[in-house]
C-alpha cells in the first residue's frame, strides 16, 4: 500500500463535509436529509481514506460499505446507551440511533457510484483524434 497525500480527495472531502454539515443544520426531515445524506456519507468516508491511500479503490470501497452496514446494524441495539451517549445529539447525528433498511440501499448506491466514477476512463482529458 502506497501512502501519498492527494489534494483532489482532500478538497472533495472538505466539500462533502460542508454539504453534510449544511444538511444536518438546515434539513431536519425529508429525502435529502435521510437518503441523500446517507448516500453522500459513504462517499465522504471513501474520499477521506483516498487522501492518504493511492489505489485500492475496490478494497477501500468494500471496507467503507462494511463499516456503514455495521453501524446501521448496530442501530438495532441500544449501543449508544452502552456508552452513555443516548442523550448526546452529536453522537446520535453521526452514529445514528434507528435502523432503516433504506439506509443500506443508500450506502450501497453511494459506493457503486463511487466505484463507477473511479474505474471509468476520463475521456474528456484525452480527446479522440480519430476524425
* Within a domain: 89: yes
pLDDT category at 93 given cuts 50, 70, 90 is confident
Residues 6+ apart with CB under 8 A from 115: 57, 58, 61
* Within a domain: 127: no
With contact defined as beta carbons under 8 Å apart, do 118 and 50 qualify? no
Average pLDDT over residues 5-28: 94
* Within a domain: 129: no
For 84, the domain range is 2-119
Rg, Å, the chain Cα set? 17
**Rama region for 54: left / alpha / beta (φ>0; ψ in -120 to 50; rest):** beta
Number of domains in the chain: 1
* Within a domain: 11: yes
What's the pTM value of the predicted model, to 2 decimals? 0.85
Positive or negative: CA dihedral 111, 19, 26, 68: positive
pLDDT category at 98 given cuts 50, 70, 90 is confident
pLDDT at 1 over 80: no
* Within a domain: 124: no
> pLDDT tens-digit profile of 45-89?
999 999 999 989 999 999 999 999 999 999 988 888 888 988 898
Residues 6+ apart with CB under 8 A from 67: 45
Please tell me the total number of residues recorded for the chain in this structure.
Answer: 131
The pLDDT of residue 89 is: 87
The pLDDT of residue 55 is: 87
The pLDDT of residue 29 is: 87
Amino acid at each position: 500500500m502506497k501512502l501519498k497525500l492527494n489534494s483532489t480527495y482532500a478538497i472533495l472531502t472538505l466539500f462533502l463535509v460542508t454539504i453534510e454539515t449544511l444538511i444536518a443544520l438546515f434539513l431536519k426531515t425529508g429525502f435529502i436529509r435521510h437518503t441523500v445524506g446517507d448516500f453522500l456519507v459513504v462517499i465522504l468516508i471513501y474520499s477521506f481514506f483516498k487522501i492518504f491511500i493511492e489505489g485500492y479503490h475496490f478494497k477501500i470501497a468494500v471496507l467503507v460499505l462494511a463499516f456503514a452496514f455495521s453501524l446501521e446494524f448496530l442501530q438495532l441495539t441500544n449501543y449508544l446507551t452502552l456508552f452513555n451517549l443516548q442523550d448526546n445529539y452529536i453522537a446520535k447525528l453521526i452514529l445514528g440511533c434507528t435502523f432503516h433498511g433504506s439506509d443500506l440501499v443508500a450506502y450501497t448506491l453511494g459506493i457503486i457510484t463511487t466505484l463507477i466514477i473511479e474505474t471509468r476512463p476520463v475521456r474528456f482529458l484525452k480527446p479522440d483524434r480519430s476524425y
